[in-house]
Chains A and B, each alone.
Chain A
Amino acid sequence: MSDAVSFDKASTEAGTDSQVVIPVSRSSVGERVLSIVVPVFMVLLAIAAWQAHIMINQVPRYIMPAPLDVVNALFTDWGTLAPSLLVTLRITMMALGIALIGGVGLAIILVQSRWIELALFPFAVILQVTPMIAIAPLLIIYMPDTQSALLTCAFVVAFFPILSNMVAGLKSVDHNLLNLFELYGASRWQTLIHLKLPSSLPYFAAGLRIGGGLSLIAAVVAEFAAGSAGKGSGLAFRLLESGYRLNYPRLYAALVLLMVTGVAIFTLTSLISWAMLHRWHESALKREN
């Protein structure tokens, strides 16, 4: 084995390029700080401009509220807005959860055989291309209650991108790796767990990010169409209600909550995909050249 040892040393030398640590220079630290400061500053600037516009031109509150009025409404109307936010959040998250389970599950079934795919894919496509807002009123009739109708709408919309991404991912497994698994006599189940699922993680991440954003939009749009009311109503109903009552600060406050929710979902799904991929996948790697 003395042979092997000397060789060992040589190969370590040959492979040192993978261990070179690139020191973080001061300019790149400054760049990082700026990359946070600049967008935050721009948003604050836009809000300030908005506030200035309202104050200088004396725009009445029932046409457009000032940012301070909106902040004020957020606090005073929190009692009505918070339960609605929870309703919308719950529908969004449940829809996304069911869409993830259903999308991944159906994708796995679809790729098992071409016949299953041919048989089931038309339904998936029809569901996808039908404008959800057009079938929302029907769902209200068919579903036992408004909540489950909204949930169905949000699910249908979030489901398709996850399904089609997963199908693409499961199908684009490295052919040589499939051969390798075959060579070692891997079972269908082993190939799925150890090869197909991990190699479609990048596609899953893409589906998750798209589906996460869409499920929130769908939950809001469906509620617009369904027009739910009472204690089970979400943020979309608060938007409509405040509009009818010309309570624009509250309408804007509801909008702000929706935006914050959307950004939060985006951040969360991006974090999840980063956590899954950062160690190995090109899309999550930092480029140095």
Chain B
Amino acid sequence: MRHVGKLFSNGTLALKDMSLDVQRGEFLSLLGPSGCGKSTALRIIAGLGAPSSGTIDWPSSKISKKGLPEGDVGFVFQEPTLMPWQTVWGNVYLPLRLRGVSKADAHPAIMEVLASVGLADFTKSYPRELSGGMKMRVSIARALVTKPKLLLMDEPFAALDEITRQKLNDDVLRLWRETGITVIFVTHSVFESAFLSNRIVVMRARPGQVYADLPLETSAVRDEHYRTSEEYRATTDTVSRALQEAIMRGAQAR
């Protein structure tokens, strides 16, 4: 999966001449200070708001009229963004329902994806009955139910507590390994990006641009031990330094 984007936003220059190639099966983190346009970039990739210049190239042949490869993209928002009047099952059914898949046909896929995020016992619950972490799991299940090739996540765990966040990070990694999906993960947490990704793209602000592109090749199993390993510490050091430089560049440009 390869796409090049050169993106402008009129008025304020949210992104300037940003280019990014994403490889199939990659776990890529977009890391940067707030206001650097990382969410904007993600939304443009998702087709929510057209770029004012530049294009997104998709490898897929089937392209919908909105310029998105059909059914290939799942999106997880910062908030769980669930419909409060629907049960967990109904919320996960939504993407399939909008495509005209009947309830009976959709059921196996929904149950499978709910089991994979550990919510098989909560299909009939309403969102208000769930904790913040569980709502986020429903949101992830909904993004995965169409079996997309690309999963876009926009600071999905920013509002969660540290323990829940680590648990969800483990789960996202497991899902990524199991499905071989490509993930673009927007975050402002150095540790989160270092733990999850095999490539970190650091962005700078004013204008939003790619500042550094850091591949993370590690053979280590990313589990609890990895969080305290030397290798992880070295990685976070490198990433932190790159982020500091990116922030300083942004500040000078002001």
Contact = CB atoms under 8 A, between A and B. Distances in A.
Interface of A: 3-4, 7-8, 10-12, 14-15, 17-18, 174, 176-177, 179-186, 190, 194-195, 198-199, 201, 279-282, 285
A18 B125 contact: yes
B33 to A, nearest CB: 23
Contacts of B133: 14
Nearest to A175: B81
Contacts, number: 88
A279 B90 CA distance: 14
Contacts of B137: 11
A280 B115 contact: no
B84 A11 contact: no
Contacts of B95: 184
19 contacts: A4-B115, A4-B118, A4-B174, A8-B120, A11-B134, A11-B137, A15-B122, A15-B131, A179-B48, A179-B75, A179-B77, A185-B68, A186-B98, A194-B94, A195-B83, A198-B85, A198-B86, A280-B85, A285-B128
A7 B118 contact: yes
Interface in B61-110: 64, 66, 68, 73, 75, 77-79, 81, 83-86, 94-95, 97-99
A177 B118 contact: no
A10 B118 contact: yes
Contacts of B47: 182-183
Nearest to B90: A194
B166 interface: no
Contacts of B120: 8
Given A4-B118, A15-B131, A194 B81 contact: no
B115 A8 contact: yes
Contacts of B46: 183
A194 B126 contact: no
Interface string B213-235: 00000000000000000000000
A176 B94 CA distance: 14
B98 A18 contact: no
B134 A198 contact: no
A4 B116 contact: yes
Contacts of A7: 118, 171, 174
Nearest to B163: A14
Contacts of A10: 118, 167
B119 interface: yes
> What are the 6 closest A-B residue pairs judged by CB atoms, nearest first?
A11-B118, A176-B81, A18-B129, A8-B118, A280-B84, A198-B85
Nearest to B84: A280
